[in-house]
Amino acid sequence: MSADLWNSATHVLDTNWSNDHMVPSRGLYPHQWSWDAAFIAVGLAYVNPTRAWRDLRSLFEAQWPDGRVPHIVFDPRTAEDDYFPGPGFWDVPAYGGRPARGSTGMVQPPLHALAAWEVYRRAASHGVACARAAGDQLAWLYPRLVAQQEYLTGRRDAGGDGLASIVHPWESGLDNSPSWDAALAAVPADPALLQRFRRRDIDKADAAHRPTDVDYARYVGLAVDYRDGEYADVDLAHRHAFVVECPSFNTILAAAELALAHIAAVVGADPGQHRQRAKRITRAISEHLFDPATRTFSSRDVRTRTLSPARCVNGLMPLLLPDLPTGQVEAIMAEAASPRFGLPARTGLPLPSYDRTAPDFDTLRYWRGPVWINVNWLLRRGMLVHGYLDEAEDLRLALIRLVHTAGHFEYYHPRTGAGIGAPTFSWTAALALDLLADRSVPAYARAA
């Protein structure tokens, strides 16, 4: 099984390489996505480290002057009509030597420091010369990674509590998660927007698997509002209709600081500033996004200061953080093992994206129930950080079995394990390689 899966995963990554970057999957996703690039680099490091570095550099070459890393970098060889919303919709002006309309103005979870550190670790294990060359790559990336963190911890701290806010569900990476339902209820859903801007995702994917038209109308409206405000982050909580603090996004923000502490030591910078920032973000997550009544982490609507009642997979992600209080670590593991999610020992499958017992649990629709490889990969790392070694190994094996049996799909049916969404999906292939190769405790969580 291992050799077959390794070879099929490598083939997917070869298929989806496009000039100087990786696309998530041919057809539905013809450009470069931000947090996809991070997940992909982790796996590419095993089979083609040159491409892993190139993919990360390609993304950061599109970084904005204010430090934001766009959630999509557009391939100029791809026609406008091949993807919506495309470069014409976002209408981003030229910046930093980049052509006009070269990217979006939104962000995604900043997993890139963690990815860069993992790529470096793999290279350094092959000897001094490889470590030196990888160190040069880290030196190029480090100031750009720091600028990304400073943008998110500064301009995006809309609530003032030390947490980054997202201004659109797409920024979370968990697009139509029930985690956003309460906040989105206050956002008008104008059906005329879908007549003016025709969605193209359902031309290439089953509509039953994708966000609904009502959700999509809200997504387009929010994107138009942020675009027409020239992507400014001033006074967001009062002038923008969706401003939310996501536990997963902020966990990755803190984990990035821990990775940056290691990178700083390699490039000759101060690791201490990153460790301290990681502690501050972890404390803010613990204090503001944990509901003592339900003993779970939830997204918070900055405008109303209320926590979402939905129990979603993003509420499990703070397990990644080594300084999370013990009681909250135990609460996450209890939630993961409960019938709401179910560890592989109970279900035989990785964890779903939403509470299995919820009345609106959907086995097919994107982030409203299906199993996703990337968040389970993160959850496994969190288990390793806190010493849940048996549970981590069970999850690793369940993930490997799922991908080997069903193929490298975008996501999977949470009851049958059937593949759903885009086939030959890059981060699924890349993370399969890592799951096959690496059983160690994540290096970013060790003392720098």
Looking at this protein, which amino acid is placed at residue 65? P
Whether 386 and 395 have beta carbons less than 8 Å apart is answered as: no
175 is catalytic: yes
Other CB atoms within 10 Å distance of the CB of residue 389: 12
β-partners of residue 145 are none
Distance CA 15, CA 276 (A): 41
410 is catalytic: yes
Omega before 309 cis (within 30°)? no
Helices (H) and strands (E) in the chain, counts: 19, 11
How much of the chain is helix, strand and coil, in % rounded to 5? 55, 5, 40
Distance CA 246, CA 360 (A): 21
CA triple 445-308-336, angle to 5 deg: 45
Catalytic residue among 362, 410, 434, 438: 410
Of 216, 192, 189, give the one whose Cα is nearest residue 202. Answer: 216
Catalytic residue among 175, 233, 257, 301: 175
Distance CA 169, CA 151 (A): 18
Q: How far is CA 247 from CA 99, 196, 259, 309, 364, in A?
A: 34, 34, 18, 13, 24
Burial of 293 (0-12, 13-18, 19+ CB in 10 A): exposed
Q: Count Cβ neighbours within 10 Å for each residue of 344-369 and write b for 16 or more, e otherwise.
A: beebebbbbbbbbebeebbbbbbbbb
42 secondary structure, DSSP code: H
β-partners of residue 29 are 25
Annotated catalytic residues are: 175, 410
